[in-house]
Amino acid sequence: MIAMVRRNFSEKSRSCVRWLPQGRVVENGRFTLIDSGLPSDTYNVVVSHDLHDTATLLCDGVGHFMAQQRPMALWYWEEATDRANVGDLLAYGLHHAETDAAMMADLTILRPQAVAVAGLSIGRVQTLAEWRHFGRLLEQGFGVTEEGTAVAHYYAQRPSYTPADNPDLRHYLGWLDEEIVATGTLFVGSETVGLYDVMTREDVRRRGIGSAMFVHLLQETAVLPHRYAVLQASAAGAGLYRRAGFADVGVVHIFENRPLL
């Protein structure tokens, strides 16, 4: 099951760079490399299929970005692979930035409970202006950082946008009293539906807005033929998803190369 979580993330990452003229995807038996051409470890990703051949992963995967001195993130979903090989990544100099829960739910039995927040409305991004609003809110989540600047550039440089441009990648905004305060994304993959980017503006957190966005995304899956939904959750957010019916199927480790640049 963890392979299904990994596959959805890999497909979603490829979809994110599809509209970029300089976007590039390389499939290797050991990994998938997604290169946005931007200085961003959000959109420059190496998805490791296993760690049995760390030499190839580091040389051809991480090394691709090191040669250009651009940030990237290596995502590794832990399975039966020898954990000792993680030491090779650390010895190379990669920073173990994050460990998240890989989670899955059966949509045929999931019954999400509606969350009512006074003044909140949620809708799918329809226009270029809304696309850019989505990006500006995501940027705030990174604070004043190089990555925040890179994410802002990713959203600012798109010349046009309609939902038909990326039908598999569906972005949503939450408005509270006509102010944009929340984001969420559904990725309709080949096997599963992935939930991503569930974020609330800092000044209106702890009011149920993030929960309302999460439930809205689940409700949107009702028109899709997919049986399973997947996501990656931080320790802070995993409890919400478990209570909603998602089950842990493994963990994902995220390594970054910024300390080497």
Written as six digits, the tokens of 14 are: 């490829």
Strands of the 120-124 sheet, one edge to the other: 24-27, 31-35, 45-48, 73-77, 247-256, 95-106, 228-233, 192-200, 179-188, 169-176, 120-124
Q: Looking at residue 83, what is its pLDDT?
A: 66
Closest to 79 (Cα-Cα) out of 190, 10, 5: 5
70 phi and psi, to 5 degrees? Answer: -120, 145
DSSP state of 148: H
Which candidate, 193, 145, 150, 214, places its Cα nearest to that of 20?
150
- Amino acid (one-letter) located at 179: E
Q: Give the pLDDT of residue 227.
A: 98
Tens-place pLDDT, residues 21-45: 999 999 988 899 999 999 999 999 9
Confidence band (pLDDT; 50, 70, 90) for 114?
confident
pLDDT at 16: 98
pLDDT of residue 187: 99
Q: pTM for the whole thing?
A: 0.95
CA distance 66 to 8: 26
Which amino acid is residue 16, in one-letter code? C
> Where are the domain boundaries for CATH 3.40.630.30 in the chain?
120-249
> CATH fold of 120-249, please?
Aminopeptidase (3.40.630)
Kindly give the pairing relationship between strand 120-124 and strand 179-188: unpaired
Looking at residue 79, what is its pLDDT? Answer: 65
Residues 193-246: pLDDT tens digits?
999 999 999 999 999 999 999 999 999 999 999 999 999 999 989 999 999 999
Give the chain's end-to-end CA distance (angstroms, integer).
Answer: 35
Give the three-state DSSP class for 152: helix
The average pLDDT across 90-95 equals 96
pLDDT by residue (tens digit) across 177-192?
A: 999 999 999 999 999 9
Instruction: Report strand pairing: 73-77 vs 169-176.
Output: unpaired
Distance CA 183, CA 213 (A): 7
* Contact between residue 47 and residue 6 where contact means Cβ atoms under 8 Å apart: yes
Give the single-character DSSP code of 114: P
- Inform me whether the pLDDT recorded for 66 exceeds 80: yes
Residue at token pair 């994410």: 151
Distance, in Å, from the CA atom of 234 to the CA atom of 239, rounded to the nearest integer, reads 9
pLDDT at 80 over 50: no
What are the beta bridge partners of residue 25?
34
